[in-house]
Amino acid sequence: MTDKTAGGDVRLSGISKHYGTFTAVHPLDLTIPQGSFFALLGASGCGKTTTLRMIAGLEEPSTGTVHLGDRDVTHLPPHKRPVNTVFQSYALFPHLTIFENIAFGLRRRGIKSVKKQVDEMLELVQLGQFAQRKPHQLSGGQQQRVAVARALINHPQVLLLDEPLGALDLKLRRQMQLELKRIQTEVGITFVHVTHDQEEAMTMADTVAVMNGGRVEQLGAPAGLYENPRTTFVANFLGTSNLIEASVESAASDIVVSACGTTLRLPAARCSTTPSTGGKLLVGVRPEKISLVPAEEEHTVATGRNRITGRIAASSFIGVSTQFVIDSPVCPELEVYVQNIERDGRLVPGAEVVLHWNPEHTFGLDAAQDIDAGIETVEESA
Ligand SMILES: Nc1ncnc2c1ncn2[C@@H]1O[C@H](COP(=O)(O)OP(=O)(O)O)[C@@H](O)[C@H]1O
Ligand SMILES: [Mg+2]
């Protein structure tokens, strides 16, 4: 199954998928570099599985081509592609031992001496002592590692993972994310990982493609996407953003805007649109970039900071931080996360406060978009 001469990137060129009149995936161009850990992230129904199935050969694209390196695999059946898939339901053979489950792919190809390779795989997924157990004698996370080993023993060029951790509880998911990342680093095979969980995508992937409505909305390294979202969907879907509607007062290397009489600044380089004086702009800032002081301490805020006055509407203590919701004429329901280093007893619901942050930490988005895009879909997809 492995064709070691045909290494290379996964290249999708104009691939799309229609079901009748419905378009599940719009024409998509995507290059997934060889050896990378790539995540397709998006809410339920946005076309992730369909895209993955077209790479696997389980779904025929309506248009476009799939290349692995220089090789056009668009019309190859799944078993002829150097690709393996791990699904959420890992479907191990219940009557076979873990050893035999992992050996399955080799035996099917008529390979007799499997022990060395199976032992290597058992070691890779750290399940050596469980070789003789049956699947039902393992935890969900261990079973999923068996599924990964069973796929990797075929030495695929690309491993496709479709919400593989979806059935696991949160703590186990976190462990398995790190575990899968370690395995990928160790074997160096391209992983394409589908998930609706933005933290999962950011933890594991070198590159994340954020999908929305059958299209890739933005693609990049996790930190780059998080710091510089180019659309309201990405700003809201990846973490939380405060988006403030403002009008542009002046536009040079710094943009100066006004929101309800409050002046804010941001670097032009962090605008995903070209603002013009008198036009509208959505001004974004992440909750953890904002500092909070009681209104009577406003004199302690350094000059040059963006600042907004408001009132604490709610606060929730979540251990490492306290999350505040603040109402302000400038923007309703601003979110602010404050690290619990020294807690200020004055920061309680009802308190008048000043929010302030470094203008460099502000980004600008085209105001013609839906300001709430990507918010409700996060909940739905769970
Ligand atoms: N075989 C099919 N026939 C008709 N519609 C489909 C089929 N498979 C998927 N779809 C639709 O295509 C869209 C994308 O599906 P899918 O790729 O499974 O999304 P995701 O994996 O992101 O949740 C959904 O609206 C889904 O209902
Ligand atoms: Mg899916």
Summarize pLDDT for 44-63 with one digit per residue, the tens: 999 999 999 999 999 999 99
Mean pLDDT calculated for residue range 280-293: 97
- In this structure, the dihedral spanned by the alpha carbons of residues 199, 212, 367 and 264, taken in order and rounded to 10 degrees, is 10
- Name the nearest CA neighbour of 314 among 323, 306, 305: 323
Confidence of residue 171 (pLDDT cuts 50, 70, 90): confident
Q: What is the pLDDT of residues 349-361, one digit of tens each?
A: 999 999 999 999 9
Is the shortest distance between the CB of 44 and ligand 1 below 6 Å?
Answer: yes
* 3-class secondary structure, 374: coil
Mean pLDDT calculated for residue range 286-306: 97
CA dist 76 and 141 (Å) reads: 32
Mean pLDDT calculated for residue range 118-136: 94
Q: Are 143 and 90 in contact, with CB atoms under 8 Å apart? A: yes
Q: What is the pLDDT of residues 311-349, one digit of tens each?
A: 999 999 999 999 999 999 999 999 999 999 988 999 999
Mean pLDDT calculated for residue range 292-311: 96
Confidence check: pLDDT of 2 > 50: no
Share of the chain above pLDDT 90, in %: 88
Torsion 59-64-69-70 (CA) sign: positive
- Tell me which of 19, 52, 85 to substitute to probe ligand 1's pocket, judged by most ligand atoms within 8 Å of the beta carbon: 19
Q: What is the pLDDT of residues 185-233, one digit of tens each?
A: 999 999 999 999 999 999 999 999 999 999 999 999 999 999 999 999 9
DSSP 302: P
Ligand 1, atom 21, lies closest to the CA of: 49
CA dist 7 and 241 (Å) reads: 40
- Name the nearest CA neighbour of 255 among 272, 243, 270, 267: 267
Q: What residue ranges in the chain does DSSP mark as E strands? A: 10-19, 22-32, 37-41, 63-68, 71-72, 83-87, 158-162, 190-195, 207-212, 215-220, 242-251, 254-259, 262-267, 280-285, 291-294, 306-317, 321-328, 331-339, 352-357, 363-365
Is the shortest distance between the CB of 380 and ligand 1 below 6 Å?
Answer: no
- Tell me which of 49, 160, 210, 237 to substitute to probe ligand 1's pocket, judged by most ligand atoms within 8 Å of the beta carbon: 49
Torsion 285-289-294-295 (CA) sign: negative
Q: Are 187 and 155 in contact, with CB atoms under 8 Å apart? A: no
Confidence check: pLDDT of 5 > 70: no
Confidence check: pLDDT of 264 > 60: yes
- Ligand 1 atom nearest to CA at 17: 12
Confidence check: pLDDT of 167 > 90: no
Give the CA distances from residue 66 to residues 76, 87, 208, in Å, rounded to whole numbers and listed in that order. Answer: 10, 21, 19
Confidence check: pLDDT of 382 > 70: no
Mean pLDDT calculated for residue range 252-276: 95
Is the shortest distance between the CB of 20 and ligand 1 below 6 Å?
Answer: no
- Ligand 1 atom nearest to CA at 52: 17
CA dist 62 and 170 (Å) reads: 37
Q: Is 303 exposed, middle or buried (0-12, 13-18, 19+ CB in 10 A)?
A: exposed
Confidence check: pLDDT of 4 > 60: no
Compute, in angstroms, the gap from residue 45 CA to the centroid of ligand 2: 7
Q: Chain centroid to CA 372: how far? A: 19
Least-confidence region, from 83-97, 197-211, 279-293: 83-97
Q: Are 258 and 270 in contact, with CB atoms under 8 Å apart? A: no
pLDDT at 89: 78
